[in-house]
Amino acid sequence: MLEGRCLSTITYDKAPAVRIPFPGTQGETVATQYRINQSGEKRWKAKDKPILYGLDRLDVIEAEGWCVLGEGASDGH
């Protein structure tokens, strides 16, 4: 189920985690966040900085003329 949404399960620091790629405006991965174990702790890939999730959908937002901002990346799924 996760893989169908560009997410993947991995082991991060010896714990199960979900890898969440953050796409840029052209769909390229510009940052990666990891959700660690069931506590939901969030960490960013080294040297990556937090960015808005869903920048690859800006064309849809511009066409519609509005958008809703959610609290986190999973809200976009």
Query: Which long-range contacts does 61-64 make (Cβ < 8 Å, 24+ apart)?
Result: none
Q: What is the pLDDT of residue 2?
A: 60
pLDDT tens string 19-35: 999 999 999 999 999 99
| pLDDT above 70 for 49 | yes
Cα 52 from Cα 72, distance rounded (Å): 9
